[in-house]
Protein backbone atom coordinates (compact mmCIF):
# COMPACT_ATOMS: atom_id res chain seq x y z
CA UNK A 1 0.00 0.00 0.00
CA UNK A 2 1.91 3.03 -1.15
CA UNK A 3 1.28 6.21 0.81
CA UNK A 4 0.36 4.33 3.94
CA UNK A 5 2.39 3.30 6.88
CA UNK A 6 1.39 0.62 9.29
CA UNK A 7 2.10 1.01 12.96
CA UNK A 8 4.78 -1.62 12.68
CA UNK A 9 6.56 0.17 9.86
CA UNK A 10 6.48 3.35 11.93
CA UNK A 11 8.15 1.52 14.78
CA UNK A 12 10.68 0.13 12.39
CA UNK A 13 11.33 3.61 11.10
CA UNK A 14 11.92 4.83 14.63
CA UNK A 15 14.42 2.07 15.26
CA UNK A 16 16.19 2.92 12.06
CA UNK A 17 16.29 6.69 12.48
CA UNK A 18 19.89 7.00 11.28
CA UNK A 19 18.80 5.35 8.05
CA UNK A 20 15.85 7.67 7.79
CA UNK A 21 16.67 8.60 4.23
CA UNK A 22 16.45 5.02 3.14
CA UNK A 23 13.30 4.30 5.09
CA UNK A 24 11.47 7.36 3.82
CA UNK A 25 11.94 6.07 0.32
CA UNK A 26 9.71 3.14 1.21
CA UNK A 27 6.63 5.13 1.94
CA UNK A 28 5.41 8.62 2.58
CA UNK A 29 3.14 8.47 5.57
CA UNK A 30 2.31 10.60 8.55
CA UNK A 31 5.69 12.16 8.48
CA UNK A 32 8.85 11.78 6.57
CA UNK A 33 12.34 12.37 7.74
CA UNK A 34 14.19 13.89 4.87
CA UNK A 35 17.83 12.97 4.81
CA UNK A 36 19.15 16.43 4.01
CA UNK A 37 21.07 18.03 6.85
CA UNK A 38 19.20 16.08 9.54
CA UNK A 39 16.06 18.18 9.26
CA UNK A 40 13.04 16.47 10.75
CA UNK A 41 9.72 17.22 9.07
CA UNK A 42 6.56 16.88 11.10
CA UNK A 43 2.95 17.49 10.17
CA UNK A 44 0.45 19.52 12.15
CA UNK A 45 -3.34 19.74 11.79
CA UNK A 46 -5.40 22.46 13.36
CA UNK A 47 -8.58 24.44 12.90
CA UNK A 48 -7.35 27.28 15.11
CA UNK A 49 -7.01 30.71 13.60
CA UNK A 50 -3.47 31.96 13.36
CA UNK A 51 -1.94 28.48 13.16
CA UNK A 52 -0.35 29.20 9.78
CA UNK A 53 1.33 32.29 11.24
CA UNK A 54 2.60 30.26 14.22
CA UNK A 55 3.99 27.55 11.93
CA UNK A 56 5.68 30.13 9.67
CA UNK A 57 7.33 31.71 12.69
CA UNK A 58 8.45 28.31 13.97
CA UNK A 59 9.91 27.31 10.62
CA UNK A 60 11.69 30.68 10.35
CA UNK A 61 13.35 30.32 13.73
CA UNK A 62 14.11 26.59 13.68
CA UNK A 63 16.49 24.68 11.40
CA UNK A 64 16.40 21.19 12.79
CA UNK A 65 12.61 20.75 12.74
CA UNK A 66 10.29 21.94 10.02
CA UNK A 67 6.50 21.80 10.30
CA UNK A 68 4.02 21.15 7.49
CA UNK A 69 0.74 22.71 8.47
CA UNK A 70 -2.69 21.74 7.24
CA UNK A 71 -5.78 23.79 8.11
CA UNK A 72 -8.68 21.41 8.80
CA UNK A 73 -12.34 22.04 9.63
CA UNK A 74 -13.14 22.61 13.29
CA UNK A 75 -13.80 19.46 15.33
CA UNK A 76 -17.53 19.00 15.09
CA UNK A 77 -17.59 20.30 11.52
CA UNK A 78 -15.64 17.24 10.44
CA UNK A 79 -12.20 17.86 11.90
CA UNK A 80 -12.51 15.10 14.51
CA UNK A 81 -13.89 12.59 12.00
CA UNK A 82 -10.96 13.40 9.74
CA UNK A 83 -8.50 12.83 12.58
CA UNK A 84 -10.12 9.52 13.63
CA UNK A 85 -10.18 8.22 10.09
CA UNK A 86 -6.59 9.25 9.47
CA UNK A 87 -5.51 7.49 12.66
CA UNK A 88 -7.38 4.36 11.58
CA UNK A 89 -5.65 4.47 8.23
CA UNK A 90 -2.30 5.01 9.92
CA UNK A 91 -1.62 8.46 8.47
CA UNK A 92 -2.53 10.82 11.28
CA UNK A 93 -0.46 14.00 11.57
CA UNK A 94 2.32 14.15 14.18
CA UNK A 95 0.55 16.93 16.07
CA UNK A 96 -3.23 17.22 16.32
CA UNK A 97 -5.46 19.84 17.93
CA UNK A 98 -8.07 18.50 20.34
CA UNK A 99 -10.45 20.44 22.57
CA UNK A 100 -10.59 19.49 26.24
CA UNK A 101 -13.89 17.53 26.21
CA UNK A 102 -12.60 15.26 23.42
CA UNK A 103 -9.18 14.50 24.95
CA UNK A 104 -10.28 11.35 26.88
CA UNK A 105 -12.03 9.96 23.78
CA UNK A 106 -8.98 10.36 21.57
CA UNK A 107 -6.75 8.96 24.31
CA UNK A 108 -8.95 5.86 24.66
CA UNK A 109 -9.13 5.40 20.90
CA UNK A 110 -5.35 5.34 20.78
CA UNK A 111 -5.03 8.49 18.69
CA UNK A 112 -3.31 10.65 21.31
CA UNK A 113 -0.04 9.31 22.67
CA UNK A 114 0.82 9.03 26.33
CA UNK A 115 3.30 11.92 26.63
CA UNK A 116 3.72 11.89 30.41
CA UNK A 117 7.46 11.31 30.24
CA UNK A 118 7.94 13.93 27.54
CA UNK A 119 6.33 16.85 29.35
CA UNK A 120 9.30 18.38 31.09
CA UNK A 121 9.21 19.87 34.58
CA UNK A 122 9.87 23.37 33.23
CA UNK A 123 6.81 23.21 31.01
CA UNK A 124 4.74 21.62 33.79
CA UNK A 125 5.67 24.45 36.14
CA UNK A 126 4.56 27.05 33.59
CA UNK A 127 1.13 25.53 32.93
CA UNK A 128 -1.93 26.37 34.99
CA UNK A 129 -2.37 23.18 37.08
CA UNK A 130 -6.13 22.99 36.47
CA UNK A 131 -5.52 23.05 32.70
CA UNK A 132 -2.98 20.24 32.78
CA UNK A 133 -5.31 18.34 35.11
CA UNK A 134 -7.92 18.22 32.36
CA UNK A 135 -5.57 16.36 30.02
CA UNK A 136 -4.16 14.02 32.66
CA UNK A 137 -5.87 10.76 33.69
CA UNK A 138 -4.56 8.51 36.45
CA UNK A 139 -1.30 10.42 36.34
CA UNK A 140 -0.81 9.96 32.60
CA UNK A 141 -0.85 13.05 30.35
CA UNK A 142 -2.25 12.84 26.82
CA UNK A 143 -2.07 16.41 25.52
CA UNK A 144 -0.71 19.86 26.31
CA UNK A 145 -3.13 22.76 26.84
CA UNK A 146 -2.81 25.87 24.68
CA UNK A 147 -5.49 27.98 26.30
CA UNK A 148 -7.94 27.51 29.12
CA UNK A 149 -11.10 29.57 29.19
CA UNK A 150 -12.78 30.44 32.49
CA UNK A 151 -16.44 31.23 32.05
CA UNK A 152 -17.21 34.93 32.50
CA UNK A 153 -20.21 37.22 32.16
CA UNK A 154 -20.22 39.62 29.23
CA UNK A 155 -22.81 42.37 29.73
CA UNK A 156 -24.26 45.40 27.94
CA UNK A 157 -23.10 48.26 30.13
CA UNK A 158 -25.20 50.86 28.25
CA UNK A 159 -28.44 48.91 28.78
CA UNK A 160 -27.54 48.17 32.41
CA UNK A 161 -27.16 51.95 32.90
CA UNK A 162 -30.32 52.72 30.97
CA UNK A 163 -32.45 50.47 33.19
CA UNK A 164 -30.48 51.20 36.35
CA UNK A 165 -29.32 47.61 36.84
CA UNK A 166 -26.55 46.36 39.10
CA UNK A 167 -24.06 43.76 37.90
CA UNK A 168 -25.15 40.55 39.70
CA UNK A 169 -22.56 38.84 41.87
CA UNK A 170 -24.52 35.78 42.91
CA UNK A 171 -26.90 33.50 41.05
CA UNK A 172 -29.73 34.69 43.31
CA UNK A 173 -29.11 38.26 42.24
CA UNK A 174 -28.88 37.07 38.65
CA UNK A 175 -32.32 35.40 38.83
CA UNK A 176 -33.82 38.47 40.42
CA UNK A 177 -32.29 40.61 37.73
CA UNK A 178 -33.76 38.36 35.03
CA UNK A 179 -37.22 39.11 36.38
CA UNK A 180 -36.45 42.83 36.63
CA UNK A 181 -35.33 42.97 32.99
CA UNK A 182 -38.47 41.17 31.89
CA UNK A 183 -40.58 43.68 33.85
CA UNK A 184 -38.76 46.83 32.72
CA UNK A 185 -38.21 45.79 29.09
CA UNK A 186 -40.71 43.10 28.10
CA UNK A 187 -39.03 42.49 24.74
CA UNK A 188 -35.57 42.02 26.18
CA UNK A 189 -34.18 39.20 28.28
CA UNK A 190 -31.23 39.05 30.64
CA UNK A 191 -29.68 35.99 29.02
CA UNK A 192 -30.08 33.10 26.61
CA UNK A 193 -30.27 29.49 27.76
CA UNK A 194 -28.73 27.84 24.71
CA UNK A 195 -30.50 24.70 23.48
CA UNK A 196 -27.22 23.74 21.80
CA UNK A 197 -25.29 24.51 24.97
CA UNK A 198 -24.42 21.22 26.67
CA UNK A 199 -20.92 22.59 27.17
CA UNK A 200 -22.26 25.76 28.80
CA UNK A 201 -24.49 23.66 31.03
CA UNK A 202 -21.48 21.52 31.91
CA UNK A 203 -19.60 24.68 32.93
CA UNK A 204 -22.48 25.80 35.17
CA UNK A 205 -22.59 22.36 36.82
CA UNK A 206 -18.80 22.24 37.13
CA UNK A 207 -18.87 25.59 38.92
CA UNK A 208 -21.55 24.32 41.32
CA UNK A 209 -19.39 21.34 42.27
CA UNK A 210 -20.75 18.60 39.99
CA UNK A 211 -18.59 15.65 39.02
CA UNK A 212 -20.18 14.17 35.90
CA UNK A 213 -17.36 11.71 35.36
CA UNK A 214 -15.07 10.37 38.03
CA UNK A 215 -12.11 8.09 37.42
CA UNK A 216 -10.71 8.01 40.93
CA UNK A 217 -11.79 4.42 41.59
CA UNK A 218 -10.35 2.88 38.46
CA UNK A 219 -13.65 2.85 36.59
CA UNK A 220 -15.67 5.51 34.80
CA UNK A 221 -18.23 6.53 37.36
CA UNK A 222 -20.95 8.46 35.55
CA UNK A 223 -23.29 10.67 37.55
CA UNK A 224 -24.58 13.43 35.32
CA UNK A 225 -27.57 14.13 37.53
CA UNK A 226 -25.68 14.58 40.79
CA UNK A 227 -26.87 17.00 43.48
CA UNK A 228 -25.02 20.13 42.21
CA UNK A 229 -26.28 19.48 38.66
CA UNK A 230 -29.84 19.02 39.91
CA UNK A 231 -29.53 22.36 41.66
CA UNK A 232 -28.29 24.07 38.46
CA UNK A 233 -30.99 22.40 36.36
CA UNK A 234 -33.73 23.45 38.77
CA UNK A 235 -32.37 27.01 38.78
CA UNK A 236 -32.48 27.37 35.00
CA UNK A 237 -35.75 25.44 34.73
CA UNK A 238 -37.36 28.10 36.91
CA UNK A 239 -36.00 30.90 34.72
CA UNK A 240 -37.25 29.09 31.61
CA UNK A 241 -40.67 28.42 33.14
CA UNK A 242 -41.00 32.07 34.22
CA UNK A 243 -40.16 33.09 30.64
CA UNK A 244 -37.44 35.48 31.83
CA UNK A 245 -34.70 34.02 29.59
CA UNK A 246 -34.54 33.29 25.88
CA UNK A 247 -34.27 29.64 24.91
CA UNK A 248 -32.90 28.90 21.46
CA UNK A 249 -29.66 27.90 19.80
CA UNK A 250 -26.65 30.12 20.43
CA UNK A 251 -24.95 29.04 17.20
CA UNK A 252 -27.84 30.43 15.21
CA UNK A 253 -28.90 33.47 13.26
CA UNK A 254 -31.60 34.04 15.84
CA UNK A 255 -29.00 34.43 18.57
CA UNK A 256 -26.87 36.72 16.39
CA UNK A 257 -29.93 38.90 15.89
CA UNK A 258 -30.69 38.93 19.62
CA UNK A 259 -27.19 40.24 20.28
CA UNK A 260 -27.11 42.69 17.36
CA UNK A 261 -30.50 44.17 18.31
CA UNK A 262 -29.65 44.46 21.99
CA UNK A 263 -32.39 42.02 23.00
CA UNK A 264 -30.09 40.01 25.21
CA UNK A 265 -28.25 41.82 28.01
CA UNK A 266 -25.62 39.29 29.03
CA UNK A 267 -23.68 36.40 27.52
CA UNK A 268 -22.21 33.67 29.69
CA UNK A 269 -19.25 32.14 27.90
CA UNK A 270 -15.52 31.56 27.96
CA UNK A 271 -12.92 34.34 27.98
CA UNK A 272 -12.23 33.74 24.27
CA UNK A 273 -15.73 34.99 23.44
CA UNK A 274 -14.66 38.59 24.11
CA UNK A 275 -12.50 38.56 20.99
CA UNK A 276 -15.05 36.60 18.96
CA UNK A 277 -17.66 39.21 19.85
CA UNK A 278 -15.39 42.01 18.57
CA UNK A 279 -15.05 40.30 15.21
CA UNK A 280 -18.74 39.33 14.94
CA UNK A 281 -20.34 42.60 16.09
CA UNK A 282 -17.94 45.51 15.43
CA UNK A 283 -20.88 47.91 15.59
CA UNK A 284 -21.37 47.35 19.32
CA UNK A 285 -17.97 48.75 20.21
CA UNK A 286 -17.89 50.33 23.65
CA UNK A 287 -21.21 48.85 24.76
CA UNK A 288 -19.96 45.63 26.29
CA UNK A 289 -18.06 45.03 29.52
CA UNK A 290 -16.99 41.85 31.25
CA UNK A 291 -17.61 40.78 34.84
CA UNK A 292 -16.97 37.60 36.82
CA UNK A 293 -19.53 34.83 36.50
CA UNK A 294 -22.16 34.99 39.30
CA UNK A 295 -21.34 32.70 42.23
CA UNK A 296 -23.35 30.30 44.37
CA UNK A 297 -21.25 31.12 47.40
CA UNK A 298 -19.30 34.37 47.28
CA UNK A 299 -17.06 33.18 50.08
CA UNK A 300 -15.84 30.21 48.05
CA UNK A 301 -15.82 31.32 44.44
CA UNK A 302 -15.37 28.78 41.65
CA UNK A 303 -15.81 28.72 37.89
CA UNK A 304 -15.89 26.09 35.17
CA UNK A 305 -14.35 26.44 31.74
CA UNK A 306 -15.99 26.90 28.37
CA UNK A 307 -13.75 26.26 25.38
CA UNK A 308 -10.03 25.91 25.01
CA UNK A 309 -7.75 23.67 22.98
CA UNK A 310 -4.89 21.28 23.53
CA UNK A 311 -2.20 19.72 21.34
CA UNK A 312 -1.58 16.00 21.24
CA UNK A 313 1.23 13.94 19.77
CA UNK A 314 -0.37 11.10 17.88
CA UNK A 315 0.50 7.48 18.49
CA UNK A 316 1.46 7.11 14.83
CA UNK A 317 3.98 9.93 14.94
CA UNK A 318 7.46 8.76 14.02
CA UNK A 319 9.04 11.89 15.54
CA UNK A 320 7.38 12.30 18.92
CA UNK A 321 10.33 14.25 20.35
CA UNK A 322 10.26 16.77 17.51
CA UNK A 323 6.47 16.98 17.77
CA UNK A 324 6.74 17.65 21.49
CA UNK A 325 9.35 20.34 20.95
CA UNK A 326 7.03 22.10 18.50
CA UNK A 327 4.12 21.84 20.93
CA UNK A 328 6.14 23.19 23.84
CA UNK A 329 7.30 26.15 21.76
CA UNK A 330 3.78 26.76 20.54
CA UNK A 331 2.15 26.90 23.96
CA UNK A 332 4.89 28.63 25.92
CA UNK A 333 7.00 30.86 23.69
CA UNK A 334 6.04 34.56 23.46
CA UNK A 335 6.96 34.59 19.74
CA UNK A 336 4.42 31.84 19.08
CA UNK A 337 1.69 33.77 20.86
CA UNK A 338 2.59 37.01 19.05
CA UNK A 339 2.43 35.19 15.72
CA UNK A 340 -0.96 33.74 16.62
CA UNK A 341 -2.33 37.11 17.71
CA UNK A 342 -1.10 38.73 14.47
CA UNK A 343 -3.94 36.95 12.64
CA UNK A 344 -6.62 39.06 14.31
CA UNK A 345 -8.25 40.00 17.57
CA UNK A 346 -8.21 37.23 20.15
CA UNK A 347 -8.97 37.22 23.84
CA UNK A 348 -7.82 33.70 24.63
CA UNK A 349 -6.50 33.04 28.11
CA UNK A 350 -3.19 31.19 27.78
CA UNK A 351 -2.73 27.95 29.69
CA UNK A 352 0.72 29.34 30.49
CA UNK A 353 -0.32 32.32 32.64
CA UNK A 354 3.17 33.78 32.27
CA UNK A 355 2.16 34.79 28.75
CA UNK A 356 -0.69 37.03 29.89
CA UNK A 357 1.39 40.23 29.47
CA UNK A 358 1.87 39.35 25.78
CA UNK A 359 -1.87 38.88 25.37
CA UNK A 360 -2.69 42.06 27.25
CA UNK A 361 -0.28 44.11 25.15
CA UNK A 362 -1.67 42.79 21.86
CA UNK A 363 -5.32 43.17 22.85
CA UNK A 364 -7.10 46.37 21.82
CA UNK A 365 -9.32 47.01 24.82
CA UNK A 366 -11.22 49.92 23.27
CA UNK A 367 -14.15 47.61 22.42
CA UNK A 368 -14.54 47.14 26.17
CA UNK A 369 -14.09 50.82 27.01
CA UNK A 370 -10.48 50.26 27.98
CA UNK A 371 -11.37 47.67 30.65
CA UNK A 372 -8.39 45.58 31.72
CA UNK A 373 -10.02 42.29 30.87
CA UNK A 374 -6.87 40.23 31.27
CA UNK A 375 -6.57 41.05 34.96
CA UNK A 376 -10.13 39.83 35.32
CA UNK A 377 -9.42 36.67 33.28
CA UNK A 378 -6.34 36.04 35.38
CA UNK A 379 -8.36 36.15 38.58
CA UNK A 380 -11.12 34.00 37.14
CA UNK A 381 -8.74 31.39 35.70
CA UNK A 382 -7.35 30.75 39.16
CA UNK A 383 -10.91 30.05 40.38
CA UNK A 384 -11.33 27.10 37.99
CA UNK A 385 -12.52 24.22 40.14
CA UNK A 386 -9.90 21.48 40.10
CA UNK A 387 -10.78 17.84 39.52
CA UNK A 388 -13.32 18.04 36.72
CA UNK A 389 -13.08 15.12 34.28
CA UNK A 390 -14.61 15.07 30.80
CA UNK A 391 -16.20 11.82 29.61
CA UNK A 392 -14.97 9.30 27.07
CA UNK A 393 -17.62 10.23 24.46
CA UNK A 394 -18.35 13.85 25.32
CA UNK A 395 -19.57 14.97 21.89
CA UNK A 396 -22.21 12.25 21.85
CA UNK A 397 -23.20 12.85 25.48
CA UNK A 398 -23.63 16.55 24.72
CA UNK A 399 -25.70 15.86 21.61
CA UNK A 400 -28.20 13.70 23.49
CA UNK A 401 -28.47 16.37 26.19
CA UNK A 402 -29.04 19.09 23.58
CA UNK A 403 -31.76 17.03 21.97
CA UNK A 404 -33.52 17.16 25.34
CA UNK A 405 -32.91 20.91 25.68
CA UNK A 406 -34.42 21.48 22.23
CA UNK A 407 -37.51 19.54 23.31
CA UNK A 408 -37.78 21.65 26.45
CA UNK A 409 -37.81 24.75 24.26
CA UNK A 410 -40.67 23.10 22.36
CA UNK A 411 -42.55 22.65 25.64
CA UNK A 412 -41.76 18.98 26.24
CA UNK A 413 -39.74 17.59 29.16
CA UNK A 414 -37.41 19.18 31.67
CA UNK A 415 -33.77 20.19 31.83
CA UNK A 416 -32.92 17.56 34.43
CA UNK A 417 -34.76 15.01 32.28
CA UNK A 418 -32.46 15.94 29.39
CA UNK A 419 -29.43 15.42 31.61
CA UNK A 420 -30.68 12.00 32.69
CA UNK A 421 -31.41 11.08 29.07
CA UNK A 422 -27.83 12.04 28.22
CA UNK A 423 -26.56 9.65 30.89
CA UNK A 424 -28.84 6.85 29.66
CA UNK A 425 -27.67 7.46 26.10
CA UNK A 426 -24.01 7.44 27.13
CA UNK A 427 -23.83 4.24 29.20
CA UNK A 428 -24.45 1.81 26.29
CA UNK A 429 -21.66 3.54 24.38
CA UNK A 430 -19.17 3.15 27.19
CA UNK A 431 -20.22 -0.45 27.79
CA UNK A 432 -19.85 -1.30 24.11
CA UNK A 433 -16.34 0.14 24.25
CA UNK A 434 -15.62 -2.32 27.03
CA UNK A 435 -14.79 0.31 29.64
CA UNK A 436 -15.32 -0.43 33.30
CA UNK A 437 -18.26 1.68 34.33
CA UNK A 438 -20.34 2.38 37.35
CA UNK A 439 -23.14 4.84 37.55
CA UNK A 440 -24.86 6.84 40.14
CA UNK A 441 -28.12 8.36 39.11
CA UNK A 442 -30.53 10.11 41.30
Partner 1 sequence: MTATTQHAPPAALPATAPASAHRTRKAARRRRLGACGALMAPFFALLVTVFLIPVGTAVYLSFHSDDHPGLGFGNARTVFVGVRSYTAVLTDPTFLSGLGTVALYCLIYIPLMVLGSLALALLLDSGVVRLRASAQLGLFLPHAVPGIIAALIWLYLYTPGISPVIELFAKADITIDFLGLHTVLPSIVNIALWSNLGYNMVVFYAALQAVPREVIEAAVVDGAGPVRTALQVKTPLVRASIVTVAMFTLVWGLQLFTEPMLLSQSSPMINSRFSPSMYIYDAAFTRNNYSLAAAASVVLLLFTIALSYGVTRWTSRLDRAEEASR
Q: Which of 261, 436, 438, 441 binds partner 1 (CB under 8 A)?
A: 436
Q: Are 145 and 355 in contact (CB under 8 A)?
A: no
Closest by alpha carbon to 294, among 129, 157, 178, 417? 178
Q: Is 402 a residue that touches partner 1 (CB under 8 A)?
A: yes
Q: Minimum distance between the CB of residue 441 and partner 1, rounded to whole angstroms?
A: 13
* Closest among 407, 394, 374 to 103, alpha carbons compared: 394
Give the one residue of 27, 49, 62, 109 binding partner 1; rule: CB under 8 A. Answer: 109
Beta-bridge partners for 247: 193
CB of 265 to partner 1, least distance (A): 24
**Residue 277 to residue 347: CA distance in whole angstroms:** 10
Tell me, residue by residue from 155 to 174, as one string, x for binding to partner 1 by CB under 8 A and - for no binding. --------------------
Kindly state whether residue 240 participates in binding partner 1, applying the rule CB under 8 A.
no
- Distance, in Å, from the CA atom of 339 to the CA atom of 267, rounded to the nearest integer, reads 29
Instruction: Give the integer Cα–Cα distance in Å for 175 and 441.
Output: 27
d(CA 252, CA 194): 10
Distance CA 355, CA 378 (A): 11
Residue 146 or 198: which CB sits closer to partner 1? Answer: 198
Q: Which of residues 31-60 bind partner 1 (CB under 8 A)?
A: none
**Applying CB under 8 A, which part among 59-67, 166-174, 304-312, 421-429 lies near partner 1?**
421-429
103/108 Cα distance (integer angstroms): 9
Specify the residue, 299 or 428, whose C-beta has the smaller distance to partner 1. 428
Query: Which of 410, 438, 440, 441 is close enough to bind partner 1 by CB under 8 A?
Result: 410
Q: Which stretch binds partner 1 (CB under 8 A): 44-52, 182-190, 225-233, 420-428?
A: 420-428
Interacting residue with partner 1 among 3, 186, 253, 386 (CB under 8 A): 253
Q: Does 428 bind partner 1 (CB under 8 A)?
A: yes
Cβ closer to partner 1: 124 or 140?
140
Alpha carbons 264 and 246: distance in angstroms, whole number: 8
**CB-wise, 139 or 299, nearer to partner 1?**
139
**Min separation Cβ 219 and partner 1, Å:** 7
Q: Does the protein bind partner 1 through residue 319 (CB under 8 A)?
A: no
Q: Which of 50, 79, 105, 320 binds partner 1 (CB under 8 A)?
A: 105
Among 4, 60, 140, 179, contact with partner 1 (rule: CB under 8 A): 140
Three-point CA angle 340, 341, 346, nearest 5°: 115
Binding residue (CB under 8 A) for partner 1 from 15, 124, 435, 440: 435
Nearer to partner 1, 82 or 333 (CB): 82
| Residue 214 interacts with partner 1 (CB under 8 A): yes or no | no
Q: Does position 425 bind partner 1 by CB under 8 A?
A: yes
Q: Which residues contact 305 (CB under 8 A, 6 or more apart)?
A: 100, 134, 148, 149, 150, 151, 203, 206, 270, 384
Please choose, out of 202-210, 265-273, 292-300, 434-442, the segment that lies near partner 1 by the rule CB under 8 A. Answer: 434-442
Report how many residues bind partner 1 under the rule CB under 8 A. Answer: 48
Among residues 67, 58, 124, 52, the alpha carbon closest in space to that of 336 is found at 58
Q: Which residues bind partner 1 (CB under 8 A)?
A: 80-81, 84, 105, 107-110, 114, 137-138, 140, 142, 195-196, 215, 218-220, 249, 253, 392-393, 395-396, 399-400, 402-403, 405-407, 409-412, 421, 424-425, 427-429, 431-436
Amino acid sequence: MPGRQSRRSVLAAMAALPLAGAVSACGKGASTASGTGGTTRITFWSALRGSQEVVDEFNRTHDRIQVDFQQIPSGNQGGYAKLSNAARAGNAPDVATIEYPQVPGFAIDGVARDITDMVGDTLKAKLLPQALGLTTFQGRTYSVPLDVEPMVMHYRTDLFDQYGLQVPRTWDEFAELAHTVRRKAPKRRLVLFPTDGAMQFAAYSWQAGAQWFDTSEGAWNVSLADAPTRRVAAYWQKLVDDDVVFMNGVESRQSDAQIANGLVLTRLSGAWDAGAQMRAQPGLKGKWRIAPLPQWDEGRPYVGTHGGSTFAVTKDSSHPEAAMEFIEWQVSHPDALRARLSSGASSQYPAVPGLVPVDRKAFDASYYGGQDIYTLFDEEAHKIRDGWVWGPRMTATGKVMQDGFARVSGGQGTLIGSVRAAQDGTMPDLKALGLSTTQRSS
